[in-house]
Amino acid sequence: MTFKVFIDGRHGTTGLKIDERLSIRPEIEILAIPEAQRKEPAVKAEFINAADAVFLCLPDAASRESVALLRPDNTRTRFLDASTAHRTHPDWVYGLPELNGGQRERVRRAQKVAVPGCHASGFIMLLAPLVAGGIVPKDYPVSTYSITGYSGGGKEMIASYEEPESLPEAMKSPRFYALGLTHKHLPEMQAQTGLAHAPLFTPIVGNFAQGMVVAVPLLPRLLPKKVTPADVQAYFAEYYAGEVFVKVMPLDAAPLLDNGFLPATACNDTNRAEIFVFGHGEQILLAARFDNLGKGASGAAIQCMNIMLGVDEATGLAV
């Protein structure tokens, strides 16, 4: 069976990756809108309504405009929005199939799926299970930090790192950003974990193209029931048992580290997310490592598309 796919915003960072991954799949026919007509609403409407699946790789406002082009009687075309426009919208399903017991089926039945943000993906994979299980209370004062490769900033940031003949000294080191503490991923991070308050989130961009680690520190003394790193690792292992793309790493992760370091790039070019638990009786550190362009963007989008179209979830995706 052949599926017709339209990538709206095909030339952006996420759109290019989706196009690259789908172009080698024989059962996928990519509908390519002529460059000169890609901003004409009537032409775009034709492509959207002719597709089985539409990826929206656009700014928020443009994503909303494209969704409005769906004919009222069209219940066949499925949307996957990679923008932030619909991630907390009640009519859209959040595209993290591994989230709780019923999310995969909700994705399967949905006509509209919001693809998670990259930072949010790691944070939610770490916190949502613990909040749902009562290990972390909803009013816990959560903080999180995340380091990402510069590809997460899109074409403009990629150019700022890759085009200069000599990179400015300030850009050679990791750089904190979104210091107003109002990052665009915060609403979905709070909504999908069930936290009573948004976490204090500090993202960091590094001088490397892709890869990501999201970290969440926990203090057992502030939890309703004291838990150890072993307890948390075992809980994650049970929660994610059987998942293809989420791998809970052994508690003794020393053999998996690079001389004691946790590089952000080990999952690059895959759709795999690795969950680590570090610490001791007084302090616990959770970490999720994945490719910000894979499980954090295009890979997650294609995983959801596979589920929605009824094909094997892992088709076209490296583990």
57 catalytic per annotation: no
Rounded to whole angstroms, the Cα distance separating 190 from 187 reads 5
| DSSP conformation class of 117 | P
Task: Identify which of 220, 219, 212 has the alpha carbon closest to the alpha carbon of residue 145.
Answer: 212
Largest CA distance in the chain: 61
CA gyration radius for the chain?
Answer: 20
- Whether the CB-CB separation of 272 and 244 falls below 8 Å is answered with no
Both ends of the chain: CA-CA distance in Å?
Answer: 24
Contacts of 156 (CB under 8 A, 6+ apart): none
- Whether the CB-CB separation of 165 and 108 falls below 8 Å is answered with no
Residue 245, phi-psi category: left (phi > 0), alpha (psi -120 to 50), beta (remainder):
alpha
Rounded to whole angstroms, the Cα distance separating 99 from 92 reads 15
Rounded to whole angstroms, the Cα distance separating 108 from 310 reads 7
Cβ–Cβ contacts within 10 Å for residue 162, how many? Answer: 11
Rounded to whole angstroms, the Cα distance separating 71 from 49 reads 7
Q: What angle do CA 224, 147, 186 make, to 5 degrees?
A: 55
Contacts of 197 (CB under 8 A, 6+ apart): 139, 141, 142, 190
Helix/strand number for the chain, H first, E second: 10, 13
Residue 134, phi-psi category: left (phi > 0), alpha (psi -120 to 50), beta (remainder):
left
Q: Which residues are catalytic, by number?
A: 118
